[in-house]
Structure 1
Amino acid sequence: MTVIRWCWVAALGLTLVTTACGSSDTDGAGERAVPIQRTPTPENEFTPAELEGTIDSLVAEINKSAIEPAQMAVLLKQQTGFWAPVVTAANRAMGELGVAGNVLGPIAPSGDIEESEELQNQQIKQAVADGAEGIGIAPFGDAQAAALEEAMAKGVQVVTLDTDLSASKRSIYVGTLNKAAGATAAETLLAMLPQPPGTVMIHGNDNPGWVDGMDRTHGAREVFEKAGYGVLVRSATWDATGEAEDVEWMKDTLEAADPPVVGLLGLFNVSYRCAMAADAASKPDIPIVAFDFDPKTVDYMRKGRIKATHTQRQYYEGYLVPYILYGIKAIGLDATKDILAPQMVDDDRVNTGLDVVPGDKIDAYYDFLSSIGAN
């Protein structure tokens, strides 16, 4: 990377993770001489065998082609916490592919969302100026649409991950499909419930301003209502008073609901609040199912208060995106989609699915995450 490029990154407050260059894997004509070799994935009860098989099929088809080296960028909302496995996986994939590329996440010192959106737009434009042929992006939202459309008009392939821009001309979306994820979590709790009548409380989102959260909540609601249960939704909040307000609302509802609450389902990383509310209402026997792998959620699982949780496969989101971008260049978009078909729910969305983690499998799941570098 040039000094000028470093200065640009520093000025925007962006963090460069890595640059993977693969010139040693090409012959004199600039075509790949050494087949792509994936890092072996250890076998584990949580290893998504079908997803792994699809990636292997894509690699096998790419290896039949002969293409020049590629350049790409993967642009994320952050690089820590939830996003850390995405960073690890995207860097690993680009290293295996031997492409020039980097993984960036805007860091707005103020924490302001509009500033972060603008930083990401500048990243998009700089990636194009630097010669990127493909961009993988977790967009903040519609604020990135114009910059991405401009990039695509110049021939850059775009793959979204985690958050989609379905109205754009992006090639493929990779990640959790929220309505299906909500339904999966609901089915896990449904198996623990007594026969109706009864009320199920969802710690979710019913605000149409957050479409992904609402879709996940509606997916769960439909499962319970179809099974004959009443449903009450508490929209989760993350501000300074959110936890106290969430717990108080759920506690009061647990004490007053008619018919009584027979189960609680949390759909976001603060799912542990369901257990806090049940304890506050002195209802320790109500089954609770959660989402994500927050340390507080894990603590309640170890105590037996949360029976299971559901985790997104963000590692596989990060790993798939560079391979998809590379595949589009090597074998074309349609051929790439044909290979991804087992994981696609429609013409342009890849569902990476969920890991369902029972309370007695916490350590086994930690072992799995460690084995792929996704802790």
Structure 2
Amino acid sequence: MNRIGRRWAAAFGLALMTAACGSGDTTGKGEQVSPIQRAPTPKSEFTAEEIEATLDALVTEINEGAIEPMQMAILLKEIGGFFTPITTGANRAMGELGVTGNVVGHSGQGRNQQERAEAQGEQIGQAVADGAAGIGVSPFGDAIAAGIDEAVAGGVPVVTLDTDAKDSKRSIYVGTISESAGDTAGKTLLALLRPAPGTVVIHGADDPSWVDGMTRMLGARRVLEDAGYTVVVRPITWSPGGEVADVEAMAAQIETADPPVMGLLGLHNVSYRCAMAAEAAGATELPVVAFDFEPKTVEYMRQGLIKATHTQRQYYAGYLVPYILYGIKIIGPDATKAILAPRMVDESRLNVGLDVVPWDKVDEYDTFLDSISVTQ
């Protein structure tokens, strides 16, 4: 850990000690005496200043209320991988708040999406039975709605993160807004392209059953088509052998497209395949823009073959949820949503936004992640 990271860790440790003392120092009514204190986030060009300001405003309002102990549960699809930064953020926020509870992965039950969603619904029910007064959950699918609704009917608010259950009675969704993410990615590539006409290859989703993937692709496609480019979509091949199939298909598009290909845009974690396709076609001069911060993506960025990538701020999604649940308990849902308004895209969805990382800022982004003890 670098010196900035060590200073942050020391501040975080102090905040944890303060929160722990506060939760034990109570009045006769069981109210927490010490105010909530957030550990300061290190300053960087990648610090999400708007989210930081919104959180500070929420904490200020919470501290005006009757601060109380709280038990909560954060239920994720898994603890590692993509969810590692979410886990880090959620645990950090719960420590600062001095609440009790756990961040846990799925139960391991179920072989498909439907069965896992049903098992996750049972996890929600168990969390309520164990005394949780607020629940954060990353849903496997719509089958979880019944479990969410039952918890809400029993007076336990639920906040979704990363993926949504929009037809349930959850209070707020926290995460990436797919259309906005696609729009941002499209504009990042657009700034690197030669003037139209020309073809752009999007490596993404074209299956309407995958709503988030499809919406992200349509957001990017709209930006590029509005600028006069012809867009062709190469659907991601997730099955074994998918990398070879995708690279060969996109290389063929580069070699044969009319009008000629001007650039490539990947919208998911395997978007480094776009750079592989450009290499295979002998067209490494084409601008390639990616999504997520996979090791292969970083490798191609360091070579200058991927010009920028977009990361989804998983850490902030995990960090926000406990604060939102605590805000709902102390100042109520309406007051909490009013404070969150600068980051809300509608009455129930909060956009954590994206970090746009240029190819020549990889080291700076790594330093930022290190400073908040996050593995992306």
TM-score in terms of structure 1 length: 0.92
Residue pair 1:26, 1:69 contacting (<8 A) in 2 also: no
What's the counterpart of residue 343 of structure 1? 343
Unaligned runs of 5+ residues in structure 1 are 1-19
Determine if the alignment matches structure 1 residue 230 to structure 2 residue 230: yes
Deviation at 1:360, TM superposition (A): 0.5
For 1:152 and 1:158, locate their aligned partners in 2 and report how far apart those are by CA, in whole Å: 7
Deviation at 1:119, TM superposition (A): 3.0
2:346 match: secondary structure: coil
Determine if the alignment matches structure 1 residue 245 to structure 2 residue 251: no
String of CA shifts for 1:98-149, please: whole Å, max 9, x gaps: 1111111115388644443333222111101111111111101112111111
User: Match for 1:63: what amino acid?
Assistant: N
Residue pair 2:267, 2:291 contacting (<8 A) in 1 also: yes
1:164-313 aligned at under 5 Å gives the runs 164-313=164-313
1:312-331 aligned at under 5 Å gives the runs 312-331=312-331
Residue pair 2:159, 2:173 contacting (<8 A) in 1 also: yes
String of CA shifts for 1:250-308, please: whole Å, max 9, x gaps: 11111111001100000000010001111111111100000000000000000010000
For 2:296 and 2:109, locate their aligned partners in 1 and report how far apart those are by CA, in whole Å: 27
For 1:345 and 1:114, locate their aligned partners in 2 and report how far apart those are by CA, in whole Å: 29
For 2:107 and 2:299, locate their aligned partners in 1 and report how far apart those are by CA, in whole Å: 30
User: Match for 1:244: what amino acid?
Assistant: V
For 1:272 and 1:76, locate their aligned partners in 2 and report how far apart those are by CA, in whole Å: 26
For 2:107 and 2:304, locate their aligned partners in 1 and report how far apart those are by CA, in whole Å: 38
What's the counterpart of residue 6 of structure 2? none
1:101-120 aligned at under 5 Å gives the runs 101-106=101-106, 108=108, 112-120=112-120
Residue pair 1:243, 1:273 contacting (<8 A) in 2 also: yes
For 2:126 and 2:109, locate their aligned partners in 1 and report how far apart those are by CA, in whole Å: 20
Residue pair 1:162, 1:317 contacting (<8 A) in 2 also: yes
CA RMSD in angstroms comes to 1.4
Residue pair 1:108, 1:115 contacting (<8 A) in 2 also: no
The answer to which of 236-245 and 87-96 deviates more is 236-245
For 1:338 and 1:110, locate their aligned partners in 2 and report how far apart those are by CA, in whole Å: 38
The answer to which of 292-301 and 166-175 deviates more is 166-175
For 1:273 and 1:308, locate their aligned partners in 2 and report how far apart those are by CA, in whole Å: 14
What's the counterpart of residue 83 of structure 2? 83
Determine if the alignment matches structure 1 residue 49 to structure 2 residue 49: yes
User: Match for 2:117: what amino acid?
Assistant: E
From the superposition, tell whether residues 107 and 234 of structure 1 become closer, same or farther in structure 2 (CA, over 3 Å): farther
Count, aligned residues: 356
User: Match for 1:103: what amino acid?
Assistant: V
Determine if the alignment matches structure 1 residue 147 to structure 2 residue 124: no
The answer to which of 108-117 and 336-345 deviates more is 108-117
User: Match for 2:206: what amino acid?
Assistant: D
User: Match for 2:311: what amino acid?
Assistant: T
What's the counterpart of residue 6 of structure 1? none
1:106 match: secondary structure: coil
2:42 match: secondary structure: coil
1:88 match: secondary structure: helix
1:45 match: secondary structure: coil
User: Match for 1:80: what amino acid?
Assistant: G
2:258 match: secondary structure: coil
Runs of 4+ residues deviating >2 angstroms: 20-23, 25-28, 107-119
Residue pair 2:70, 2:100 contacting (<8 A) in 1 also: yes
What's the counterpart of residue 66 of structure 1? 66
For 2:296 and 2:123, locate their aligned partners in 1 and report how far apart those are by CA, in whole Å: 35
Residue pair 1:157, 1:171 contacting (<8 A) in 2 also: yes
User: Match for 1:71: what amino acid?
Assistant: Q
For 1:345 and 1:339, locate their aligned partners in 2 and report how far apart those are by CA, in whole Å: 13
Residue pair 2:113, 2:141 contacting (<8 A) in 1 also: no
String of CA shifts for 1:194-245, please: whole Å, max 9, x gaps: 1110000000101001000001000000000100000000111222121111
TM-score in terms of structure 2 length: 0.92
For 2:199 and 2:331, locate their aligned partners in 1 and report how far apart those are by CA, in whole Å: 51
For 1:72 and 1:214, locate their aligned partners in 2 and report how far apart those are by CA, in whole Å: 33
Residue pair 1:25, 1:98 contacting (<8 A) in 2 also: no
User: Match for 1:147: what amino acid?
Assistant: G
Residue pair 1:136, 1:160 contacting (<8 A) in 2 also: yes
From the superposition, tell whether residues 197 and 337 of structure 1 become closer, same or farther in structure 2 (CA, over 3 Å): same
For 1:189 and 1:219, locate their aligned partners in 2 and report how far apart those are by CA, in whole Å: 13
For 1:75 and 1:264, locate their aligned partners in 2 and report how far apart those are by CA, in whole Å: 36
For 2:327 and 2:195, locate their aligned partners in 1 and report how far apart those are by CA, in whole Å: 49
User: Percent of aligned pairs with the same residue?
Assistant: 65
Determine if the alignment matches structure 1 residue 137 to structure 2 residue 110: no
Deviation at 1:51, TM superposition (A): 0.9
User: Match for 2:224: what amino acid?
Assistant: F
